[in-house]
Amino acid sequence: MKRMAFLISTWAFAVSMIWGLVGTPAVQAQLEVLDENQAPGRTMAQQATKERQIWITADHSRHAVLQNEFNSGPEVTKACLSCHELAAGQFHKTIHWTWLDPNVPAEERIGKAGHAINNFCINLNGNEPRCTSCHAGYGWRDSSFNFKDEAAVDCLVCHEQTGTYKKFPTGAGNPVEKPTVFKGNNKTYNPPDWNKVAQSVGRPTRTNCGTCHFYGGGGDGVKHGDIDSSLAKPNKALDVHMGLDGQNFDCVRCHTTTLHNISGRTYATPAATHRKSLIEDDLASKIMCESCHSNTPHKPGVKANDHTDKVACQSCHIPEFARVNATKMAWDWSKAGLKKDGKPYALKGPHGKPTYDTKKGEFRWEKNVQPAYFWFNGSINAITARDTIDPSQPVNINWPVGNRADVNARIFPFKVHAGKQPYDKINKTLLIPKLFGPKGSGAYWAEYDWKKSFDKGMQAAGLSFSGEFDFVETRYVFPITHMVAPKDNVVDCIECHSAEGRLASLAGFYMPGRDNFKTINVFGWILVLGTLVAVTFHGLGRAISSSRKEG
Amino acid sequence: MTGKKMVNTYLYTRYERFWHWLQTALISILLVTGFEVDGFYTLLGYKTAVEVHNFVGLGWLIAFAFFVFWLLTTGEWKQYVPTTKKMFTVIHYYMLGIFRGDPHPVPKRKDAKHNPLQRIAYLSVAMFLLPLQMISGFLYWSYNSWTAWGLDWLSLPVVAAIHILGAFGVLSFLVGHIYMTTTGHTLFAHIRAMITGWEEIPEGVELEDWEKRQRKGHQASESEAPSA
């Protein structure tokens, strides 16, 4: 028995030695792993975020210039610029100000201020005073807005910390001068206490960014699906990084900023060109998971470390989006305009969200949504209102760029928003409606006349409308990257490695458990069952012949 | 069987038996987990199935190296040298004689454990099928290192297809092999032998020279020690 025990233990030793050799990534050597049961990617991220105390040397409440009397936003901005002379100049160059993709020539008009289209409220042109309530500026009422005006920059919306500063929804970016009720939500908007808000300024928090980004598309959770008001004060279960009971990250913890340029994807430009960790470049932006977690974040030998070259962290670590608030998944403009007793009306449905609105048409909202998955290299291409479409099939307004062969592409989760929206039957382009405006302006929400609305909208965008329109199905994608769940709530292997799984429709590569080789399986089972049948008959033959002999 | 006296003979050494059953366990686990990974059913859960399959697969590679070492150092490899002599007699036996209750034409001996059919079967399994599984399995497992190893030209679906095809081969062998264990003079005689090392074999069957595995300074007849 001793020899047997020796053999077994030698074998077990050899197995574990080989595992140790092949399974240990180099990263471990560079780290002092505090808890050896913890994944190195967590340790690394914890070290990168250890120093959380932010210290400043200025108390804005004691600045003399901020004791002055202010009556408008631009007056405050001038006061800010009296010390921060370069701030407006920096900000003027950013996409937050121009609403145009800074990485393509302005003539191409890529961006909200240009000819970019979505399948929500479609486009800004002609609708400025409503849309620009989310512009970090004052007075973008129409195309005559002066983008060179330094005083028109709204410092407060991003930097004030009282939580009382509100821009009026239809005020072209201005707060009100006297208390005013907004009919859209029946809320009263009060003029800001300018001195108080100006003296409160600090680094942007989740609430500052969320003022606009939680409400993109005109309401909570309309657009993104992974960004809504639930992220203002999330718990760890909703977002492991931002959770108040977790790391309590602000947005800018990852969206690191240079010269007021906030890191993140802009249209076709990826958020980062390389997935570098801070070990490789300590000045890199922290926008990628890999920045802090490295590209082998799991424990040595864990298969998930092998997936990081082709599967984005988000794909497994955000099992569902819209986990607290519902998000809009479909918008059908073709149903707009129905009236009850001659009057516009609205209906509420599940999740307390509208399912119908005469102004906008029909909606579908969903909670706990499983993402769609596409190859994605960080770049999203899109058509504009100038591009011709094929109305015989659903139109992809934007789509993730990347494929299996692209080394920068990963399988990435997306929200896909389904739309049905107007297009020009003759020109074969998507149409820009003028939605917002007073009666007589041609605005759809005042007159319910689509033709007038397209005339005005396309005119404002400098584009032509033939006069003939219909509605076409469209799709619009949003990458899902927020609402990262704690490590116990991840997508299970089988959810993708199965025929009917999450990646069932992602073609172009072989994946174990999902794909099978029909011919080989048929041949294999014939071989196995054939053997089984043969030995069964052979056995039966023996049984019969021996019983005959005995009998 | 035919009234011949049966002699209890020590056929399989401790290491052989240990290796046989270890390999049985490893291959069974590999088959069960492998077919789960391939999506035929859910048993351990995908993640566990993959982890177990990888661990056991690598373990098998190492253990197999020990086995090859044993084969070479003990000269046992000669038991696997293929021959056509008596091959057709053996085939004939399994096709007809076995039903008539004839004695096995090539009974086991310590230094001739395998009949010609077994020799060719085990040799092709050990030389081709199992190495095919080990090589394709190792490549499959090391997929992420292909670029670093200059194996970019390999195709994952092809490697996977070969590995799955091999698995069916192994499973099919297993079915036949298990059935063949029942063909001894009693149903469990062969299995008992592989557990205890001892098997009852008919006395007085002369071995032909080619059947004997030669050992230096060690006569085949001497090594046969009937138990008391």
3-class DSSP state of A1: coil
Where does A53-172 have alpha helices with state H? 73-83, 87-92, 95-98, 128-131, 156-159
Residue B224 gets the label, from left (phi > 0), alpha (psi -120 to 50) or beta, of: beta
Which of 170-199 (A) contact B at CB < 8 A?
none
Residues of B in contact with A532 (CB under 8 A): 175
**pLDDT above 50 (res B223):** no
Asked if A381 and A422 touch (Cβ cutoff 8 Å), the reply is: no
Asked if A90 and A84 touch (Cβ cutoff 8 Å), the reply is: no
Report how far residue A324's alpha carbon sits from residue A310's, in angstroms, rounded to the nearest whole number: 29
Q: Does A18 contact B45 at a Cβ distance shorter than 8 Å?
A: no
Residue A203 token pair: 């680094």
Which of 39-68 (B) contact A at CB < 8 A?
39, 42, 45-47, 50-51, 54-55, 58-59, 62-63, 66
Nearest of A371, A331, A339 to residue A355 by alpha carbon: A331
Report how far residue A404's alpha carbon sits from residue A506's, in angstroms, rounded to the nearest whole number: 10
Query: In terms of CA atoms, which chain A residue is nearest residue B13?
Result: A4
Average pLDDT over residues B59-84: 87
Which of 72-111 (B) contact A at CB < 8 A?
94, 98-101
Residues of B in contact with A517 (CB under 8 A): 157, 160-161, 164
Average pLDDT over residues B58-77: 90
Nearest of B211, B212, B214, B186 to residue B199 by alpha carbon: B186
3-class DSSP state of B134: helix
Nearest of B208, B218, B192, B176 to residue B6 by alpha carbon: B192
Report how far residue B34's alpha carbon sits from residue B160's, in angstroms, rounded to the nearest whole number: 11
Distance of CA A71 to the CA centre of its chain: 37
Q: pTM of the prediction?
A: 0.87
Q: Does B157 contact A515 at a Cβ distance shorter than 8 Å?
A: yes
The Cα of B147 is separated from the nearest Cα of chain A by a number of Å equal to: 12
Amino acid letter at A6?
F
Q: Does B14 contact A531 at a Cβ distance shorter than 8 Å?
A: no
Residue B161, chain A, CB below 8 Å: the answer is: yes
Between the two ends of chain B, the Cα-to-Cα distance in Å is: 21
Average pLDDT over residues B21-40: 95
Q: Does B168 contact A513 at a Cβ distance shorter than 8 Å?
A: no
Residue B34 token pair: 């492998």
Report how far residue A359's alpha carbon sits from residue A343's, in angstroms, rounded to the nearest whole number: 11
Residue B18, chain A, CB below 8 Å: the answer is: yes
**Which residues are B123's β-sheet partners?**
none
Residue A7, chain B, CB below 8 Å: the answer is: yes
Percentage of chain A with pLDDT > 70?
92
- If one counts every other C-beta atom within 10 angstroms of the C-beta of residue A409, the result is 20
Report how far residue B219's alpha carbon sits from residue B225's, in angstroms, rounded to the nearest whole number: 12
**Which residues are A36's β-sheet partners?**
none
Contacts (Cβ under 8 Å, ≥6 apart) of B219: none
What is the pLDDT of chain B when averaged over all its residues?
83
Question: What pLDDT, on a 0 to 100 scale, did the predictor assign at position B187?
Answer: 83
Residue A551, chain B, CB below 8 Å: the answer is: no
Nearest of A116, A119, A185, A112 to residue A364 by alpha carbon: A119
Class of residue A3 by CB neighbours under 10 A (exposed 0-12, middle 13-18, buried 19+): exposed
Q: At what angle do helices B14-37 and B46-74 cross, to 10 degrees?
A: 150
Query: In terms of CA atoms, which chain B residue is nearest residue A530?
Result: B172
Question: What pLDDT, on a 0 to 100 scale, did the predictor assign at position A550?
Answer: 63
DSSP string computed for A379-441: -EEE-BTTSB--TTS-EESEEE---TT-TT-EEEEEEEEEEEEEEETTTTEE-----SS-TTT
Residue in B41, B44, B62, B102 to test binding to A, most A beta-carbons within 10 Å: B62
Residue in A2, A3, A494 to test binding to B, most B beta-carbons within 10 Å: A494
Which of 496-535 (A) contact B at CB < 8 A?
497-499, 509-510, 512-517, 520-521, 523-525, 527-528, 530-532, 534-535
Report how far residue A515's alpha carbon sits from residue A390's, in angstroms, rounded to the nearest whole number: 33
Where do we find the tokens 């194996």? B151
Query: In terms of CA atoms, which chain B residue is nearest residue A529?
Result: B172
Is the ipTM here above 0.90?
no
3-class DSSP state of A362: strand
Q: At what angle do helices B156-180 and A518-550 cross, to 10 degrees?
A: 0
Residue A28 token pair: 């471990």
Amino acid letter at A453?
S
Question: What pLDDT, on a 0 to 100 scale, did the predictor assign at position A32?
Answer: 46
**pLDDT above 90 (res B210):** no
**Which residues are B18's β-sheet partners?**
none
Report how far residue A532's alpha carbon sits from residue A549's, in angstroms, rounded to the nearest whole number: 26
CA angle A102, A105, A110 (to 5 degrees): 65
Nearest of B180, B206, B223, B186 to residue B13 by alpha carbon: B223
Residue A463 token pair: 């584009």
pLDDT band at B219 (very low <50, low <70, confident <90, very high): very low
Which helix (H) or strand (E) is A343 found in, with range?
strand A343-344
* In chain B, domain spans: 6-206
Average pLDDT over residues B27-46: 95
The Cα of B209 is separated from the nearest Cα of chain A by a number of Å equal to: 32
Where do we find the tokens 């009693």? B186
**Which residues are A417's β-sheet partners?**
A476
Residue A266 token pair: 């802009």
Three-state SS for A253-265 is: HCCCEECCEECCC
Class of residue B103 by CB neighbours under 10 A (exposed 0-12, middle 13-18, buried 19+): middle
Nearest of B40, B36, B66 to residue B51 by alpha carbon: B36
Query: In terms of CA atoms, which chain A residue is nearest residue B180?
Result: A535
Three-state SS for A25-40 is: CCHHHHCCCCCCCCCH
**pLDDT above 60 (res B173):** yes
Distance of CA A431 to the CA centre of its chain: 25
The stretches in chain A having pLDDT less than 70 are 1-8, 10-36, 51-54, 549-551
Identify how many contiguous H helices and E strands chain B contains and give both numbers: 9, 2
DSSP string computed for A168-212: -TTTTTPPPSS-EEETTTTEEEPPP-HHHHHHT--S--HHHHHHH
Q: What's the sign of the alpha-carbon dihedral A329, A333, A338, A344?
A: positive
Amino acid letter at A399?
W
Report how far residue A315's alpha carbon sits from residue A373's, in angstroms, rounded to the nearest whole number: 8
Question: What pLDDT, on a 0 to 100 scale, did the predictor assign at position B221?
Answer: 41
Local structure of residue A506 (DSSP, 8 states): -
Question: What pLDDT, on a 0 to 100 scale, did the predictor assign at position A13?
Answer: 65
Question: What pLDDT, on a 0 to 100 scale, did the predictor assign at position A185?
Answer: 86
Between the two ends of chain A, the Cα-to-Cα distance in Å is: 46
CATH architecture of B6-206: Up-down Bundle (1.20)
Contacts (Cβ under 8 Å, ≥6 apart) of B82: B116, B119, B120, B123
Residues of B in contact with A303 (CB under 8 A): 47, 50-51, 54
Q: Does B37 contact A513 at a Cβ distance shorter than 8 Å?
A: yes
Lowest mean pLDDT: which of A413-422, B88-97, B127-136, B212-221?
Answer: B212-221
CA angle A61, A63, A64 (to 5 degrees): 120
Residues of A in contact with B104 (CB under 8 A): none
Where do we find the tokens 């490789």? A280
Q: What's the sign of the alpha-carbon dihedral A447, A451, A454, A455?
A: negative
What is the pLDDT of chain A when averaged over all its residues?
91
Which helix (H) or strand (E) is B140 found in, with range?
helix B130-141
A-to-B residue pairs, Cβ atoms closer than 8 angstroms: 109
Where does B76-125 have alpha helices with state H? 87-92, 98-100, 116-124
Contacts (Cβ under 8 Å, ≥6 apart) of A102: A93, A94, A95, A266
